[in-house]
Amino acid sequence: MKILLCCGAGASTSLVAQSMMNSLPENEKANYIINAITYDLFLDHYKNYDVVLLGPQIRYKKKSLEKEALGDNIPVDVINSVDYALQNGTKIIEHAKQLYKKAHGA
């Protein structure tokens, strides 16, 4: 699964992305690509991913970014603020999996 994280400056989501990868069992890491970018690069990159997760600090951008990705069937949602602050990679990956399943009926 390819997961794109977006936030205002990109620094905090880079740490979250690393936490997400670290939370995966070694035998699953090859099945994931997790990258972090600033939201202003969203249009250039989102089509290369299965799920887009937004940092809580840019939750106000969700509707506009979701509207862009809707036609491409790429779910966009905001990361739970507690999971984000605690860098709970396991819960954030589970959230991404649920979004993907809902969007693709898997």
Phi, psi of 71 (to 5 degrees): -65, -20
Kind plus residue range of the DSSP H or E element containing 70: helix 62-70
6 is catalytic: no
Q: Could you say which of 4, 5, 7, 58 is catalytic?
A: 7
Instruction: Give the strand pairing for 51-54 and 33-38.
Output: unpaired
**8 DSSP 8-state letter:** S
Token pair in block for residue 25 = 């069992």
Q: How many CB atoms lie within 10 A of CB 10?
A: 18
Alpha-carbon distance of 9 to 25, in angstroms, equals: 29
Q: Which residues are catalytic?
A: 7
